[in-house]
Amino acid sequence: MNTITAQRLIYKESLSLKAQSVFLYLADRSNKENICWPGLKRIAEDCRISVSTVQRAIKELLSIGLLMKKANFRANGSQTSNVYIVTDDAGEKEQVKVENKRIQEKMQARMKEQAKKMKLAAAVKNKLISSLSPEIGIDENRVHEEKLCKAYTKIQEIKGTVCTFLKKAIFFSRGGGQNDQPIT
């Protein structure tokens, strides 16, 4: 997007000076398709403002539809720089607002799903430790990595108990009901 078009767009809106600065920066960095992906730290350094100010400015631009943000993830699932799409048409603004809201809802749902998975994994781990602690001598309240390493050899001795417990945990985590038979 050229600078003149970007300036005309921001003058039509009542934006804070920081949001104007960030919008012009993103417009300047965008390619022919109006897409760019600088990190928050890079934007902050180049605009000479704080990262939190950049975040507030981006939120302001998203709310009025001048910008669309898509989360970008690495192959291992960790997040990397967001992809920003700069709106250059006033008619697109409403569509961008709707799309931004949909993306935000999708991200919230993804975060809730990850939280549920983490909670389940923690529950399984705690159940495993509490069920094995009397047999292998682990104090439930003070599990340390050294003890876990030593416990590994003892777990081999009681492998049958562990395997049965894990099979049941997997069965119930997959939605096994009361009338269903767990894997044995």
Per-residue pLDDT of the chain (184 residues; tens, 9 = 90+): 666 677 777 777 788 999 999 999 999 999 988 889 999 999 999 999 999 999 999 999 988 888 888 888 888 878 888 889 888 665 566 666 667 677 777 877 887 888 888 888 777 777 776 666 666 555 555 555 555 656 656 665 666 565 566 666 666 666 655 555 545 4
Give the Cα separation of 106 and 104 in Å (integer): 5
Candidates 15, 9, 58, 16; CA nearest to 37 is 58
Q: What is the pLDDT of residue 182?
A: 47
Domain 3-90 sits in CATH at 1.10.10.10
Residue 12 vs residues 7, 15, 66, 84: alpha-carbon distances, Å: 9, 9, 11, 21
Read off the pTM. Answer: 0.52
Write the DSSP symbol of residue 68.
E
Helices (H), 77-174: 92-136, 145-157, 159-173
Q: Two tokens at 13? A: 């809106």
Domain ranges of the chain: 3-90, 114-173
Going across the sheet that includes 35-36, the strands are: 35-36, 79-86, 67-73
